[in-house]
Chains A and B, each alone.
Chain A
Amino acid sequence: MARALIRGRGGAAAGLRAWALVVPLAAFIGVTFVAPLGAMLTRSVHTPVVADALPETLRLLGGWDGSAAPGEPVFRALGQELLAAREARTLGQVANRVNRVEGGLRSVLTRTARRLRTAAPSPEAAPGAGTQPDATRTAGAPAPWRDAILGMDEAWNEVATWRAIERAGERFTGRHYLHALDLDEAPDGAIVAQPEDLRIYLPLLGRTLLVSLAVTALCLALGYPVAYLIARAPPDRAPLLLLLVLVPFWTSLLVRTTSWIVLLQTEGVINDLLVAVGVLDQDGRLAMIYNMTGTMVAMTHVLLPFMVLPLYSVMRTVPPEYMRAAASLGATFPAAFRRVYWPRTLPGVAAGCLLVFILAIGYYITPALVGGRTGQLISNMIAYHMQQSLNWGLAAALGGILLVCVLALYLAFDRLVGVERMRLGA
């Protein structure tokens, strides 16, 4: 009994020690990975800028019937809150957000705010001074804000403007995801596909998936024989061959990509060679870089080791007797390979393909450098929205969709192959 107790305590202490060992890593991952990921995903649906800047306007718009421009109280709230936003220097963000909902409204908002600063009606402004009667106006009531703002920009008389503000004011929105999927919300709330010529993201996502699949297939086709060769090499030669696979792996990505530029460009080594031996003439030089070809070649090269290494480690565990047994039983090499060797290496094939595919689907630097205009992938679009257009919500939504794609593939893979059967190492 006492001994069991001691052992039990020892076990608990060992468990605690084991946990203590992973705490630093867990903290690191939490701070540098999980938290930013969470923040990013939140950003894709959380849009508080307008809601924070124009709370009263939005509250009053809640009771608006939407048939024509709203009444004086809404205009007053808008005017005062625009002025406050200008003071707080958040007006630019607000204008940007509204502009994304309805193009052209950025200037309307900033102009209105600028003019209001000098021409805001005083709280005691006389009613009816120099204004035209208006259908939506409550008869007889004075409306200095309404008249002033309408006088500043005709856009305020349009229902669409107010609708845009209303929609930009939603604190949580699925609009980024709609955009990322080339969908749009019609004024009546129905979700419709963008016109064909405006669709950007879905074709890009499809292209990214296709390129990733093609790169994975290429890596498998090129890597499998290499891994087989290394696994079958005599023990004194295998490390050398493995080194040949690993040296590019250890070389800087930029150096490797630049090398491909040197090789593949129109005035590059390969084109020069082909022209020199007369396969091509001077005008017929091939465009092998700054397009999809360049992206695929460079990506395949960069990702090849990720295929070779898991394959090699699994192949090393397949005893050579299997192939000998198959031969002694009368099988030709292709039959023995297909029925005996290939099935034994499937865990490595699965691991390599999954690894390469997931790395490929989020590939950024290589397409950015050698992709040119047609060889860009979804990651490049995400980077564009992060750095150029500053539409972080959309960037986050695109990233979220990419994440969902990867997870879906992983789950499908788990269903089909079984992740626990996958082996990255021996």
Chain B
Amino acid sequence: MTEMREAVAGSLGEDRHESGTPHVEFLGVGKSYDGVTEVVRDLELTVYEGEFLTLLGPSGSGKTTCLMMLAGFEAPTAGRIRIAGQRVDDVPPRRRNIGMVFQNYALFPHMTVGGNLAFPLEVRRIDREHAAQRVRRALELVRLTGFEDRKPGELSGGQQQRVAIARALVFEPNLVLMDEPLGALDRRLREEMQYEIRRIQRTLGVTVVYVTHDQQEAMAMSDRVAVFNRGRVQQVAPPEVLYEEPEKGFVATFIGDNNLLHGRIVAAKGDVCVVDTGHGIVQAFLVAPLEVGDAVTLAIRPERVALAAEPGLYSNEFEAHVDDIAFLGDHLRVRVGVCGSSNFVVKIPNRAGHGAVLEDDRIRIGWTPLDCRALAPDKDEGGP
């Protein structure tokens, strides 16, 4: 089993960015607006130079507050923030030299595209000729050459987004923050812009801290993702690791779908443990430092659960009652009752031979211990 885990970790290229020069460091940062509720708690997070790091979480999880503290619009109530090794507590936003893309772009509507882009250069007193050249290059970068004289109101949403990005880059900051920049775009445009932003980031080699609540967007774009919930970072890892090796129940369910079962460890040896769910015994892959007798949460991906054509194929095999079937084109989404969970989802690829599953049937399903991760149960983290 140990070998298996190492094989998984190795193939995923874990810790790809756990080296290099720290660019941004959150050191024990906390933020509370009213002195009682903490929006962000004990944040320890390092962003490395040239990295694309996404802060992912549901709304109200504290990710935007982190971004605002980094930009300097909010002051931390605890801990400190360092940029390039320097404490920035007393540095006002205008002197942090951070490019920022706002949720609604915040393009100045009374200025032309060229005027918007020249604004940061003019306040830096860069001479006119130089500025014009940089504006041209920035527009070239976002593929909007020749749009200098348009007003933002005359542009489509996607074009405005590109202008906002160009404006955040035109004064050549080496740190760029983006606050849900694609939220207002439709799905196709959003996907296109995801590639664009990634391409630009790679071209320039700038560090990007990106905020979103869309896990697919985070997966598609990021070098690493920091998952936020209730003001705390749950896990910071590359997308593949988050998906394959979630360390917390919240991450397991927030990134992709996961079935959670609850039980207690009855035996453990190395990485493998045996869990009694009360409705059946399950072999699982132990990732948390848990011991026999501890409560445990098991996470099983729906696509890793298979229909057992014949008994004895998997170490975890159960009879299950089919409650509901949804046909979703490339796969069937089957809801079954198993091991005390009435909402256990199995994803069956749309392949010949699977049409046999019918509602109200009893079927055999199974999964390997490696696809069943035993996590420490999430404590209620709402209170102090």
Contacts and interface: CB of A to CB of B under 8 A. Distances in A.
Given A326-B119, A330-B97, A319 B73 contact: no
B106 A330 contact: no
A354 B358 CA distance: 75
The 8 A-B residue pairs whose C-beta atoms are closest, nearest first, are: A329-B120, A325-B106, A321-B106, A328-B100, A327-B93, A331-B123, A343-B110, A330-B123
Given A339-B119, A344-B110, A330 B102 contact: no
Q: Which of A319, A326, A332, A335 has the most CB of B within 10 A?
A: A326
A137 interface: no
B119 A331 contact: yes
Contacts of A325: 100, 102, 106, 108
Contacts of A328: 71, 93-94, 96, 98-100, 168
Contacts of B104: 319, 321
Contact of B123 (A319, A332, A343, A344): A332
B108 to A, nearest CB: 6
Interface in B73-117: 73, 92-100, 102-104, 106, 108-110
A331 B104 CA distance: 19
A207 B220 CA distance: 70
Contacts of A326: 108, 119
Interface in B156-175: 167-168, 171
A322 interface: yes
A59 interface: no
Contacts of B99: 328
Interface in A337-373: 339-340, 343-344
Nearest to A328: B100
A239 B141 CA distance: 46
A324 interface: yes
Chain B contact-residue range equals 20 to 34
B94 A330 contact: yes
Nearest to A341: B108
Contacts of B120: 329-331
B102 A335 contact: no
Given A328-B71, A330-B123, 16 more contacts: A319-B106, A321-B103, A324-B71, A325-B106, A326-B108, A327-B92, A327-B93, A328-B99, A329-B119, A330-B120, A331-B120, A332-B94, A335-B123, A339-B119, A343-B110, A344-B109
B109 to A, nearest CB: 8
Contacts of A319: 104, 106
7 contacts: A326-B119, A327-B72, A327-B92, A328-B96, A329-B94, A331-B120, A344-B109
Nearest to A331: B123
B124 interface: yes
A78 B95 CA distance: 91
A19 to B, nearest CB: 34
Contacts of B92: 327
A329 B97 CA distance: 7
Nearest to A333: B94
B71 A330 contact: no
Contact of A331 (B94, B100, B110): B94
B93 A340 contact: no
A328 B178 CA distance: 12
Contact of B106 (A322, A331, A335, A343): A322
A340 B123 CA distance: 12
Given A330-B120, A335-B123, A339-B119, A324 B97 contact: no
A330 B100 contact: no
A223 B100 CA distance: 32
A156 B98 CA distance: 94
Interface string B39-68: 000000000000000000000000000000
A327 B108 CA distance: 13
A327 B94 contact: yes
A341 to B, nearest CB: 10
Contact of A324 (B73, B123, B168, B171): B73
B93 A321 contact: no
